């Protein structure tokens, strides 16, 4: 396993109690980072999270769709660890699977609130401190659905396309600082988000992946650990593919 130096750095990971976020928290903590997890539900984190040295772990209940909640999480993290060097936006929901003409309007708004607005809220909150210190790494978790659009998942696809565009825009805005803003576009991974969609939709997603399997959360964490590292000092506003050969661009 490649190792990157996160000693003396603080990483904030949204949705970090389970799934992709938990794997990233585990990987960054193993590389020396103090790890703050901002999650809506902190009652039952995965074992890999609870195994992190308690002196280097901070959990705070956070609703990323609420700017005030995110600002409170930032303040609490700074009180605990002093700063935020790395932000990884993993919090997200799938929403129901439905054709657009029948898509519930309240569910559409909820998906945008969590996936798109949540990413906006966290970036908006951490950026001033990163600018003041002239250092930061932001990694947004988008999806191959944001590139290609999944049928019967218009809300999710739209939200992840917005995250890609936001990443590109913000990367350009902050290019004059030692701040890198990038995103990843993974294919589906077997996490709790599968509970939000039908079995037929899961099979559809698998059928689209040339590798013939889902990406693992550890594979995602491996890529994120480099993107979030100080070694990634040039690339910004980029989209890193983790689609198993599915993406066509």
Tell me the average pLDDT across 216-220: 93
Would you state the pLDDT for residue 192? 66
Would you state the pLDDT for residue 14? 98
Q: What is the DSSP letter of 153?
A: B
**Distance, CA of 6 to CA of 85 (rounded, Å):** 10
The answer, yes or no, to whether residue 243 has pLDDT greater than 90, is no
pTM of the model: 0.93
Would you state the pLDDT for residue 1? 74
The answer, yes or no, to whether residue 193 has pLDDT greater than 70, is no
Catalytic residue, candidates 4, 103, 135, 156: 156
Would you state the pLDDT for residue 203? 79
The answer, yes or no, to whether residue 195 has pLDDT greater than 70, is no
Tell me the average pLDDT across 30-55: 96
**Residue keyed to tokens 């708004």:** 109
What residue ranges do the domains of the chain occupy? 10-242
| CATH number for region 10-242 | 3.40.50.720
Give residue-wise pLDDT tens across range 103-145: 999 999 999 999 999 999 999 999 999 999 999 999 999 999 9
Alpha helices in the chain (DSSP H): 19-30, 47-50, 67-81, 105-111, 118-133, 145-148, 154-173, 199-207, 217-227
**Distance, CA of 162 to CA of 186 (rounded, Å):** 15
Reported as a pLDDT band with limits 50, 70 and 90, residue 220 is: very high
Would you state the pLDDT for residue 184? 97
CA nearest to 186, candidates 212, 229, 225, 147: 147
Confirm whether 156 is a catalytic residue.
yes
Reported as a pLDDT band with limits 50, 70 and 90, residue 3 is: confident
Give the CA dihedral 207, 109, 147, 19, nearest 10 degrees. -60
Would you state the pLDDT for residue 208? 81
């Amino acid at each position: 396993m490649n190792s990157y130096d996160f000693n003396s750095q603080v990483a904030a990971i949204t949705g970090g109690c389970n799934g992709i976020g938990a794997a990233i928290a585990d990987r960054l903590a193993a590389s020396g980072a103090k790890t703050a997890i901002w999650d809506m539900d902190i009652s039952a984190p995965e074992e890999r999270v609870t195994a992190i040295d308690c002196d280097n772990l901070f959990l705070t209940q956070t609703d990323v769709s609420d700017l005030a909640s995110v600002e409170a999480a930032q303040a609490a993290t700074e009180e605990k660890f002093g700063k935020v060097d790395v932000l990884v936006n993993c919090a997200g929901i799938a929403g129901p699977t439905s054709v657009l003409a029948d898509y519930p309007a309240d569910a559409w708004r909820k998906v945008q609130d969590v996936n798109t607005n949540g990413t906006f809220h966290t970036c908006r909150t951490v950026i001033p401190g990163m600018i003041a210190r002239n250092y930061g790494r932001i990694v947004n978790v988008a999806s191959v659905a944001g590139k290609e659009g999944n049928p019967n998942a218009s809300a999710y696809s739209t939200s992840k396309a917005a995250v890609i565009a936001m990443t590109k825009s913000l990367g350009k805005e902050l290019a004059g600082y030692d701040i890198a803003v990038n995103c990843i576009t993974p294919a589906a991974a077997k996490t709790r988000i599968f509970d939000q969609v039908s079995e037929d939709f899961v099979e559809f997603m698998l059928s689209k992946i040339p590798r013939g399997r889902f990406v693992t959360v550890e594979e995602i964490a491996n890529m994120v650990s480099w993107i979030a590292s100080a070694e990634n000092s040039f690339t910004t506003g980029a989209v890193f593919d983790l689609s198993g050969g599915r993406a066509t661009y």
